A = this chain, B = another copy of it.
Amino acid sequence: MTSSLDSLSRRAFIERLGGVGGTGLVMAGMSALGFGIESRAATPPSLSGGGGKKIVVLGSGVAGLTSAYELSKAGYDVTLLEARDRIGGRSYTARKGTKLTELGGEAQTCAFDEGHYINPGPWRIPYHHRGYLHYAKTFEVPMELFNNDNDHSYVYFAKGSGPLAGKAIRKQEIAADTRGYATEMLAKQVNQGALDQDFSKGDKELFLSYLRSEGYLTGKDFKYIGSEGRGWAVDRGAGLNPGVPSTPYALSDILQSDTWATLKSVSDFDQQRTMFQPVGGMDQLPAGFVRHLKPTIIHKSHVVEKISQDADKVQVHYVDGKGHRGVVTADYCICTIPLSVLRGIDIQVSDPFKKAVSGVSYAPVGKIGIQMKRRFWEEDHAIYGGHVYFDNPDIGSIALPSTGWLGNKGVLLGYYQFGANAAKISAKRLAERQAFAVAEGQKVFPQYAENAESAFSIAWHRVQYNLGGWAEWNTDNRRDSYPILNEPDGRIYLAGEHLSYLTGWQEGGIESAWQQIGKLHKRVHA
């Protein structure tokens, strides 16, 4: 069912529905107005009767694999070309033997022990990424929890001042103290009547009860004097040990340390619990797709040189791993090549389309996995997974592994930077990247340097066939270029995380593929 409303007035209408009837009515409105595939979908479009039409899919990241899987299931004749000698694109896992040579960089072979790995690309799956979870379920790819937030981990902020700057501080202490003092201040104001105009009588009492409960304030005079939630000076235990309470930090010390910047009333939507990872590495979902695709569909080591089209067909010119050139002729093309790479390929599209392809920035992103001889963060610091946040953007964060609990070794993420910081660190030689990451980690964990035994680093902006971590739209090209690229140019459809509002997430690639193959299918059957 389609509507004659244009998308702007549809949106205004839907927002009005939201104001009147809440979320349920918005959902119904979305559906009734034919938003269908454009709204957030939890399952693939229902396709059937491909009738042997030939589709060439470019790229074997999750967008390409989703397209190939759904289209071939619906009866289309699919050929998938992948430039690399492996499938998965950024859905990638580095483990023993994984080789990578960045553009202009040194050759690197991962030397982690068997069973250890790092996911250098996407690494976590929020509960609302229902497309990803749909395929994990379909292909029986086992999932495990990813510990994205750990109360007992550290914050290491060095740029502020005062006694807490440049020290590893437990997150639970910052949360309890900052919020404790804030609720105390507000409770006193409310209690004194300073906000009486904001409350009915009953509400005021309820609000004070809320503040007392939220901030662990004293019953009578709403004082924050510390709380069990910030941890004990000595944990209570067996026998005659009731524990020794810990002492809160001074508010001024917290404020001057800037560590409060890690606190949010609720995590950002993309970072909330529940968060998952595939057991054994992020490449397990691509492997699941491959298990469900005819082996003749995927052609690895086929690098696209040129894409041409006319009124009847599309042609993809490639060079294969042996240097042989060839052409795939198809009825339609689903191209999931990142725009950062696509703009270097000879592609026969309209000028506005070509201009749109060229105008999007890609994020410089750097990560390093470091194998540690023992899990000192667990054994000596009682930190099991989660992140250590830095205010040094050259590090960003250290992430402790959410797998191999209580084991003998572990691979942690030693840095995660973006933009100019990623560009700067990526200019270092491999050994220097590792030395830098280790020196910074040492500031938090005294056991860091002595346990670091090997590393694998990646700078996505320097990786051939990626040239960046993900698309970064700005207001202008989101308005001007993005709608153009979401429509096919002739027989060529683009798909990928770059054609979504979930850039940098595999879910964006999957849902974009669903949307584009849905459009293509509708056209075939028009």
Contacts and interface: CB of A to CB of B under 8 A. Distances in A.
A128 interface: yes
Interface residues of A, number: 116
Contacts of A390: none
A47 B387 CA distance: 37
23 contacts: A18-B246, A18-B247, A40-B235, A127-B152, A128-B152, A145-B147, A151-B272, A179-B214, A179-B265, A182-B210, A185-B186, A185-B198, A189-B189, A213-B264, A216-B265, A228-B268, A228-B269, A229-B264, A229-B267, A236-B501, A239-B500, A243-B501, A273-B386
B265 A229 contact: yes
A260 interface: yes
Query: Among A26, A136, A406, which residue has the most Cβ atoms of chain B within 10 A?
Result: A406
B130 A175 contact: no
A517 B84 CA distance: 61
Ranked 3 nearest A-B pairs via Cβ: A179-B265, A238-B511, A40-B235
B232 A269 contact: yes
Interface in A240-261: 240-244, 246-247, 251-252, 255-256, 258, 260-261
Interface in A357-395: 382-386
**How many copies of this chain sit in the oligomeric assembly?**
2
A472 to B, nearest CB: 15
A52 interface: no
Nearest to A182: B186
Interface in A195-214: 195, 198, 200, 202-203, 206-207, 209-211, 213-214
Contacts of A258: 206
Interface string A9-21: 0010011001100
A453 interface: no
A234 B145 contact: no
A51 interface: no
Contact of A210 (B149, B202, B215, B261): B261
A434 interface: no
A176 B190 CA distance: 20
Contacts of A508: 237-238
A238 B500 contact: yes
Contact of A237 (B41, B200, B383): B41
A172 to B, nearest CB: 5
Interface in A81-107: none
A483 B240 contact: yes
Given A179-B265, A232-B269, A402-B145, A274 B239 contact: no
B172 A266 contact: yes
A239 B483 CA distance: 8
Given A263-B210, A274-B385, A384-B276, A143 B405 contact: yes
A120 interface: no
A464 interface: no
A30 interface: yes
Interface of A: 7, 11, 14-15, 18-19, 22-23, 26-27, 30, 35, 37-41, 127-128, 130, 133, 136-137, 142-145, 147, 149-152, 172, 175-176, 178-180, 182-183, 185-186, 189-190, 194-195, 198, 200, 202-203, 206-207, 209-211, 213-216, 227-244, 246-247, 251-252, 255-256, 258, 260-261, 263-269, 272-274, 276, 382-386, 402, 405-406, 483, 486, 499-502, 508, 511-512, 514-515
Contact of A194 (B133, B142, B194): B194
A497 to B, nearest CB: 9
B183 A189 contact: no
A39 B239 CA distance: 9
Contacts of A211: 182
A238 B22 contact: no
Contact of A183 (B182, B502, B511): B182
A334 to B, nearest CB: 13
B272 A172 contact: yes
Given A150-B274, A239-B38, A145 B385 contact: yes
